[in-house]
Chain A
Amino acid sequence: MRARAVLGGVLSSVAVLVIGWQVGGQTATTASPPTSTSDTSGSGTSGSGTSGTDASGSGTSGSGTSGTSGSAASGSTASGTFLGAVAQTRYGPVQVRIVVSDGTITDVTAPQLTDADGRSVAISAQAAPVLRQEALQAQSAQIQAVSGATFTSEGYTTSLQSAIDQAGL
């Protein structure tokens, strides 16, 4: 399982998305539409095709080459790389991975895996850098729960909630 996760640590073709949007400050007024812009430079840079390295630009994130977990028993001071539960998909096993430094998420990726024929397969990879960007900008992405449309029990395994639970943040 962990061995597969190491393979999954390969980051390629991960588009960094930046949300240029903030919650509006008026009474239930319309805010700007959330805009997602592909951005392959700047602090949230992810290396295209970089094998086995953590392309996060924070300088504080843990090694992305390891599939091992850090200590999850110490609450908010946890550090290390944490993997969500493995979900079997038609593309192979999928895990959400987060890198934690002193209880703060410094990197999050949906690992990109290869299918049985060795071709790389993109699975929700474009989404992860939003949290990365937020974490790196605010250094405050310490969250204990995720609220969204109700996920199924199957969907839980690939959810952010699963990865956070594993990390015990």
Chain B
Amino acid sequence: MTVPAVPVRTFPTMGTVVSLRGADAETAARVRAVFAGYDHRYSRYDPASVLSRVAAGTLRLADTPEEVRDVYALALTWRDRTAGAFTPHRPDGTIDLSGVVKALAVRDAGVLLDAVSPDWMLSAGGDVLVRGTHDGAPWRVGVVDPDRRDALADVVQLDAPRRAVATSGTAERGEHVWRRSVPTFAQVTVVADDIVTADVLATAVLAGDETDLARTTADGTVDVLAFGVDGRAWATPGLAARSCSRMGA
């Protein structure tokens, strides 16, 4: 595929900015529509969204579109798999699926992109999904230093099947994670095969403690880089192996 004159396309959505490489204008427009669709249904900032009306009590969950209920069911599955560290419920009991919809939009956009390009990269506010390579080399993603937003703590390579990386932290948007314990972590990065797993587990570990980290990393299906509020850091061997700074490549 010919590299377009402007190789990176960006657009604002879901309160952040998406950066897209490897897509032509038409595909980029369809990707944008995917994000707009999720935002329209699930935004808790838009009082007219499906989920806002459910929270307001003007729309019953049972009367929502099937796909909304499917997403809620998916979120509940993740709540169980993370022993409650990830939850689709606000402390006030209302449903908030913002912890998963951005990743779902990235996932669905990735399906679109897979159909048109062997090499692409999609980042939605730091949730990154890639396919193939960048000029023949693995895609490389910098992990932000949790204390300094314009510095990198690490650089990781993404090789299939580990195509996704997501980071949860408290630095940029403030404390938007509903913690269930005294904070242990300031920032958690998860590398996984799919973006929903990466995003949900990053959120879950950030909301939890070292027990949650141990459980998340026990089966070896994800790589984790975590920074504690006390200055400690944790990394799985897989993360260390794909760390470019460590390899000195």
Do A and B associate with each other?
yes
CB neighbours of A146 from chain B (8 A)? 123, 126, 141-144, 152
Within 8 Å by CB of A151, from B172, B189, B231, lies B172
CB neighbours of A89 from chain B (8 A)? none
- Is A128 in contact with chain B by the CB < 8 A criterion? yes
Point out which of B127, B152, B170 has the most chain A C-beta atoms below 10 A from its C-beta.
Answer: B152
Q: CB-CB contacts of B3-33 with A at 8 A, as 1s and 0s?
A: 1011110101001110101000000000000
Instruction: Check A143/B140 contact, CB under 8 A, given A22-B246, A23-B243, A25-B237.
Output: yes
**How many B residues face the partner with a CB closer than 8 A?**
73
Within 8 Å by CB of A160, from B128, B146, B150, lies B150
CB neighbours of A141 from chain B (8 A)? 142, 152, 155
CB neighbours of A124 from chain B (8 A)? 148-150
Point out which of A30, A148, A159 has the most chain B C-beta atoms below 10 A from its C-beta.
Answer: A148
CB neighbours of B172 from chain A (8 A)? 148-152, 155
When chains A and B are docked, how far (Å) is the Cα of A76 from the Cα of B7? Answer: 11
| Interface majority SS (helix, strand, loop, mixed), chain B | strand
CB neighbours of B152 from chain A (8 A)? 130-131, 134, 141, 143, 146, 160
Separation in Å of the B139 CB from the closest CB of chain A? 6
When chains A and B are docked, how far (Å) is the Cα of A124 from the Cα of B146? Answer: 13
Instruction: Give the contact stretch, choosing among B51-59, B73-81, B161-169.
Output: B161-169
- Seen from chain B, the residues whose Cβ lies within 8 Å of a Cβ on chain A are 3, 5-8, 10, 12, 15-17, 19, 21, 102, 121, 123, 125-128, 130, 134-135, 137, 139-155, 165-173, 187, 189, 213-214, 217, 224-225, 227, 230-237, 239-240, 243-246, 248-249
- Seen from chain A, the residues whose Cβ lies within 8 Å of a Cβ on chain B are 17, 19, 21-34, 36, 72-73, 75-76, 96, 108, 110, 124, 126-131, 134, 137-138, 140-153, 155-156, 158-162, 164-166, 168
